[in-house]
């Protein structure tokens, strides 16, 4: 799921995730995202802006991580708020990754693929 109020960024992320073969839902404000999350069976990954209309991304992240899907749902924050205290707060709320805007779509897709592989159990731990 992509939760981003900037239509251009939302569409860019949506398009690239679809192109990679992911099923993607979009939301453009916090309340819309909250409603979709409540109605759906859960999401593997939520890409979440912090500064959203109606309900901010910090609150949504907290709700996701305190809910029944806490360990099932990865949260990637994408935000123009790049201060260390914002990043720390996001991680304290349970965010798995934090990308400051502007971000590279390639970097975001790499993170999504990595988390998707973890969900599938498709990763290796190498011993020395």
pTM of the predicted protein model: 0.90
Domain ranges of the chain: 2-120
Task: Copy the structure tokens of residue 93.
Answer: 């709320």
Which pLDDT value is given to residue 83?
A: 87
Enter the tokens of residue 41: 């069976």
pLDDT of 126 reads 56
Q: Which residues of the chain have pLDDT under 50?
A: none
What is the predicted pLDDT for the residue at 123?
Answer: 60
| CA-based nearest residue to 101, from 1, 20, 6 | 6
Supply the CATH classification number for the domain 2-120: 3.40.50.2300
């Amino acid at each position: 799921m992509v939760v981003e109020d900037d239509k251009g960024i939302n569409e860019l992320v949506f398009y690239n995730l679809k192109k990679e073969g992911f099923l993607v839902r979009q939301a453009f404000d916090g309340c819309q995202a909250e409603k979709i999350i409540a109605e759906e069976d859960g999401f593997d990954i939520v890409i979440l802006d912090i500064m959203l209309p109606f309900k901010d991304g910090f609150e949504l992240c907290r709700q996701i991580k305190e809910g029944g899907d806490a360990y099932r749902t990865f949260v990637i924050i994408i935000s123009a708020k790049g201060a260390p205290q914002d990043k720390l707060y996001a991680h304290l709320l349970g965010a798995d990754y934090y990308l400051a805007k502007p971000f590279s779509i390639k970097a975001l897709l790499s993170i999504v693929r990595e988390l998707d592989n973890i969900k599938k159990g498709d990763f290796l731990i190498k011993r020395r």
